[in-house]
Amino acid sequence: MTRTRRAARISEVLEELYPETPIPLDHRDPYTLLIAVLLSAQCTDARVNTVTPLLFGRADTPENMVRVPVEEIQAIIRPCGLSPRKAKAISELSRILLDQHGGKVPQSFEALEALPGVGHKTASVVMSQAFGFPAFPVDTHIHRLAQRWELTDGRSVERTEADLKKLFPRERWNKLHLQIIFYGRAHCTARGCDGTVCRLCRELFPKRAKPVKTRK
């Protein structure tokens, strides 16, 4: 089976399994989504969703967030890990949004990636899920599964993103990246599947006998 045919089959199966793709991070608007995605770095979405009600109850706009001491933000978000860095970034980006963007989350990769604590993946999530711009955010799940399914060589996250964008139609990117995440969490986990166990791995590679070692 060629890479193109594997991609087509993956898309079919994931659409069958996950016709609806609710955004896993609880949020109210682009700003709260941006903060939630920032907090999700090296943290589960489930844990972020237990923390953000407390944080957003205290401040859910840039105007209110800049009034909260960084130490208080840090105390609230501590369960998410990396709290000193994340708290500082939340405070600083909120100030920048007020000073440079009229208190609004900008709708461009360049402006988003210029914000403290916001990398390309975070910007991609915000652009796709808040503004509907075609993007293919690649997180750990997607990077791992793309290698198991031989859609990329896994040389880097950037390479994986580029390869996936070539394989899948632009209009599928926003939904598909969530579908892959959902599938990875439920069926093709780091410990639950080594490239030979789950439905897609078995269907795509019926003769595969050895576990797949993926690059992080």
Residue 171 confidence (pLDDT) = 96
Residue 190 confidence (pLDDT) = 85
Output the domain CATH number for residue 168. 1.10.1670.10
Residue 21 confidence (pLDDT) = 95
Residue 1 confidence (pLDDT) = 83
Structure tokens at 118: 């916001």
Q: Say if 160 falls within a structural domain.
A: yes
Residue 141 confidence (pLDDT) = 87
Residues 121, 163 share a domain: no
Q: Which residues of 53-86 are buried (b: 16+ CB within 10 A; e: fewer)?
A: eebbeebbbbeebbebeeeebbebbeebebbeeb
Q: Say if 214 falls within a structural domain.
A: no
d(CA 41, CA 116): 13
Q: How many domains does the chain have?
A: 2
Q: Say if 213 falls within a structural domain.
A: no
Q: Which of 114, 129, 144 is the last residue of a domain?
A: 129
d(CA 135, CA 35): 19
User: How many Cα atoms occupy the beta-carbon half-sphere of 207 within 13 Å?
Assistant: 1
- What is the set of active-site residues? 121, 139
Per-residue pLDDT of the chain (216 residues; tens, 9 = 90+): 899 999 999 999 999 999 999 999 999 999 999 999 999 998 999 999 999 999 999 999 999 999 999 999 999 999 999 999 999 999 999 999 999 999 999 999 999 999 999 999 999 999 999 999 999 999 888 999 999 999 999 889 999 999 999 999 999 999 999 999 999 999 999 889 999 999 999 999 999 989 998 876
